[in-house]
Structure 1
Amino acid sequence: MEANEDLISALTEAGFTQAELADVVNEYLRDHGHEGTVSDRTVRHWLTGKTRWPHPRQREALEAVFGSTAEDLGFIRPAGRSSPTSEPEQPLRRRNFLIATTGTAATVVSPLSARPSTVGISDVIRLRSGLDALMFIDDTRGGHETLERAALSGATEALDMQHQAASQRIRQRLFSVAADYTATAAWSALDARHSDRAEQHLHQALYLAGMAQDPVVELRVWNSYAMLAHQRQHFTQAVDSAQAAQATAITRRDPLFASLAHARTAVGHSNLGDRQAALRSLGYAAEALEKAEPQQPRPSWIAFYGPAELNAITAIVRDRIGDAAEAEAASHQALSTIPQQFRRNRALATTRLALAQLHQRDIEQACATAATVFPMMSSNPIPGRMRSLLGDYYRDLITLAPKAPVTREWGDRYRLEWSRA
């Protein structure tokens, strides 16, 4: 029995859990006059390949949800059965979200017909698809005010739906979506180094995550709190926030989230100069990551985290505890595996590589490496967090090699790029 990789991929892309897919299929069935009997177990049988050709009504519902034929979703038609002549319905999760033509924000597009007075799972899916669009923009460009405003708009729409008729489960999911949008706005402000706005959004996101009883968003918020505390150089608070992320319920169910929380704790310990605690947390992060199932459906915001990002975080920790050679090696490992679409993260890892080289007194190589960051981000302004890191590099360069010709040359390039930002 082989797993249905196509359905797993579609589920992951949509950001569904097994329970959510069961709910949306059941909603479709009920809307079309049938009894909704799909359970988590049914979905698990689809994903594992135990059920290779679902019931006709279930296939119809799956095709409507994903906008793909049953065969495209990885199901295998029994021999002798003819193919359907109808086209699958446009996917519910994509129907009303589009990327704005400027490519800088996600825009909620109202459906052609008036919205029903009752809110259902398809509305939740529609809203969640907009989060995927925002995270794609963040991966390439980084945080900026347009992205922040778009995220807050998505949160407002989700909260406004609370005024319509909905089941308690749908209300919780609307709170969850609003929390995720607000956390995205907070992350955008954090990446742009607008710390006061980031903190305001994080407070609201944590409240909404509590209303939703959503431990995944809670972990996301605490992870961002740890990064905010680092920006403010409140390093003890950064450790406390990362440990709060460790304590969320999702870390007991999914080791990938546990790994991220341990990695963030390691950064906090390294900033406090606690070498042993930092390395111990890195070890816990690596152990947890080995246990994680890569194909498990997860929200799009966590897509950045995996072995490549753990290597990038390892580079940060190693450099801060004085292991510059190990930091350089970890940076090379990260850059060899960070996917190309994560352009901002690749630029950050490259700057970390330059810092590790600089701290080994390899001045010319460090400057050559750091100079490659600017063309990586040439099509967009450099986000505030990256500007700050490049500023750290320049200060260390001036301290270590104040009179070297390459220092003067790099400084001229640095100021020129800054004037264009």
Structure 2
Amino acid sequence: MGDNLLLRHHMARLGLTKTGLARELNVEIERLTGKPGTVSDRTVHNWLTGKSVWPSAKMRISLKAVFGCTGPDLGFTPPAKSRPVPETDVNRRSFIATAIGAAAPAVNAPRRIGAADIERITARFAAVVASDHRHGGRRSIEEQAVAFADEALALQESGSASQRVRQQLYGCAAAFMSSAMWAAIDGRRFDSAIRHHERAAHLASMSGDQGIQFRIWSHAGSLYRHMRRPADALAANDVARGLPITRRDPMFASLAHARHAAIHGLTGDHNAVRHSISRAQDALIRADANVPRPVWLTAHYDQAELESLSLAAFLALGRHEDAEACAHRSLALLRPHMQRSRAITTARLARAQLGQGDLDPAVTTAMGIPAALAEHPRVAGMLDRFGTALRGTAEGSSAVRTWHDFIEDTRRTST
């Protein structure tokens, strides 16, 4: 029995105290099981001191959701006489078993599948969306979403249901796959994202749910934009823009036009960017806030996100002054829980300031991103590109030395 230094390191990396880690784990356990977690400071203390060396499978899944690491990576030691099951297998099997147990008791018994089952699955989808906004890009979110999609499809075989309920189950499965797709995009796992898109699009076509079809094809547009394939991105986003739901609800139309603007930025078409942003803004103004909409849309899209997508478009065009203005407006409007979005927007702001020759303000802005968020794959890539651009602009300057020292100090702290 000894001190668990690896766990201490990872807690310090995320700035977590014993109480903070216990709180995070209880949230993840509730998302996993549907019941509040009971992790206490004492539980964490026992891990740190080595009194408890191998948490339960449920706890290891929750720890991985928080840290993105397996049990051994966190300093835990499996029992010598048992063969440790890979975390990915435990993760997938436990999520499916637990979720089906909570969402569909006696799943093998003949029964009628109804609205209550859909409501329970929908609540889990809301939790996946919330986890994505808090953590973003984690492989554990991707795996969780895939497991819940499997759960929704398993219910198809567990009993009788009306055609409407079966379509809703396909819609739930498609929704989870779209979240898996987005987590893969955000984590820069583009091959996985493409595979998830294929499955999500197939499930959505069977659901008849235009809202989730919009999400999937809009995500595809974002996927190809991040892969710097603007022709494919425009084609995918055109599928989303062409759905009837964009004519019925201006909120959907606004998001479609805003993402089109960001894609047009890659093509260098200034007029198309301006036109798409204008259409997005007009549609957002017309959108009735009292109309019920999917949780994935209301939790994500608003004026702050429109400004963020406009920022991406103007940066791609090299219109740095316009980009900076959009960044400041987005940061002022972002909801408090959108910490990953705040880090992404801040990184873009630093690039916009650099593009205007404001070296010291740009470095100060980039250094202001919290260390834990700077490790997010998407943010880390943006900061790497910022450093490259800074050196290319002002090699040998005090700003470059400040940035170099900051990066070196950050690396020493994290090792």
Quick one: structure 1 residues 99 and 235, their matched pair in 2 at CA, closer, same or farther if it must change by over 3 Å?
farther
CA–CA distance in 2 between the matches of 1:99 and 1:196?
35
Conservation of the 8 A alpha-carbon contact between 2:129 and 2:296: yes
Query: What is the identity, as a one-letter code, of the residue corresponding to 2:393?
Result: L
Verify: 1:411 aligned to 2:404, yes or no: yes
Summarize the alignment of residues 170-189 of structure 1 with structure 2, pairs less than 5 Å apart: 170-189=165-184
2:99 matched residue in structure 1: 108
CA–CA distance in 1 between the matches of 2:243 and 2:226?
23
CA–CA distance in 2 between the matches of 1:399 and 1:96?
51
CA–CA distance in 1 between the matches of 2:36 and 2:391?
43
Quick one: structure 1 residues 367 and 127, their matched pair in 2 at CA, closer, same or farther if it must change by over 3 Å?
same
- Per the alignment, in what secondary structure is the counterpart of residue 166 of structure 1? coil
Q: What CA deviation, in whole Å up to 9, does each residue of 1:107-146 have, x standing for no partner?
A: 6262495356221111011011011111111111111111
CA–CA distance in 1 between the matches of 2:36 and 2:407?
33
Give the deviation of 1:415 after TM superposition.
Answer: 4.9
- Per the alignment, in what secondary structure is the counterpart of residue 110 of structure 1? helix
CA–CA distance in 1 between the matches of 2:367 and 2:33?
41
Q: What CA deviation, in whole Å up to 9, does each residue of 1:74-94 have, x standing for no partner?
A: xxxxxxxxxxxxxxxxxxxx9
- The two structures have a TM-score, normalised by structure 2, of 0.74
Verify: 1:158 aligned to 2:176, yes or no: no
Point out where structure 2 has 5 or more consecutive residues left out of the alignment: 1-30, 38-58, 67-94
Summarize the alignment of residues 65-76 of structure 1 with structure 2, pairs less than 5 Å apart: none
Give the deviation of 1:374 after TM superposition.
Answer: 2.8
Give the deviation of 1:234 after TM superposition.
Answer: 0.7
Conservation of the 8 A alpha-carbon contact between 2:100 and 2:151: no
1:388 matched residue in structure 2: 381
Quick check: 95-104 or 164-173, which moved more? 95-104
CA–CA distance in 2 between the matches of 1:284 and 1:418?
44
Aligned residues: 325
Q: What CA deviation, in whole Å up to 9, does each residue of 1:271-322 have, x standing for no partner?
A: 1101101111111111110111223222222121111111111111122223
1:334 matched residue in structure 2: 330
Quick one: structure 1 residues 131 and 418, their matched pair in 2 at CA, closer, same or farther if it must change by over 3 Å?
farther
2:87 matched residue in structure 1: none
Quick one: structure 1 residues 126 and 199, their matched pair in 2 at CA, closer, same or farther if it must change by over 3 Å?
same
CA–CA distance in 2 between the matches of 1:176 and 1:397?
46
- Per the alignment, in what secondary structure is the counterpart of residue 155 of structure 2? helix
Verify: 1:137 aligned to 2:131, yes or no: yes
Verify: 1:368 aligned to 2:380, yes or no: no
Give the deviation of 1:397 after TM superposition.
Answer: 0.9
Give the deviation of 1:325 after TM superposition.
Answer: 1.2
Q: What CA deviation, in whole Å up to 9, does each residue of 1:1-44 have, x standing for no partner?
A: xxxxxxxxxxxxxxxxxxxxxxxxxxxxxxxxxxxxxxxxxxxx
CA–CA distance in 2 between the matches of 1:294 and 1:398?
46
2:89 matched residue in structure 1: none
Conservation of the 8 A alpha-carbon contact between 2:307 and 2:330: yes
- The two structures have a TM-score, normalised by structure 1, of 0.73
Point out where structure 1 has 5 or more consecutive residues left out of the alignment: 1-93
Aligned-pair Cα RMSD in Å: 2.2
Give the deviation of 1:257 after TM superposition.
Answer: 0.9
- Per the alignment, in what secondary structure is the counterpart of residue 193 of structure 1? coil
1:281 matched residue in structure 2: 276
CA–CA distance in 1 between the matches of 2:154 and 2:290?
33
- Per the alignment, in what secondary structure is the counterpart of residue 370 of structure 2? helix
Verify: 1:122 aligned to 2:116, yes or no: yes
Quick one: structure 1 residues 417 and 132, their matched pair in 2 at CA, closer, same or farther if it must change by over 3 Å?
farther
CA–CA distance in 2 between the matches of 1:234 and 1:361?
29
Of the three residues 320, 325, 339, the one matched with 1:324 is: 320
More helix by share: 2
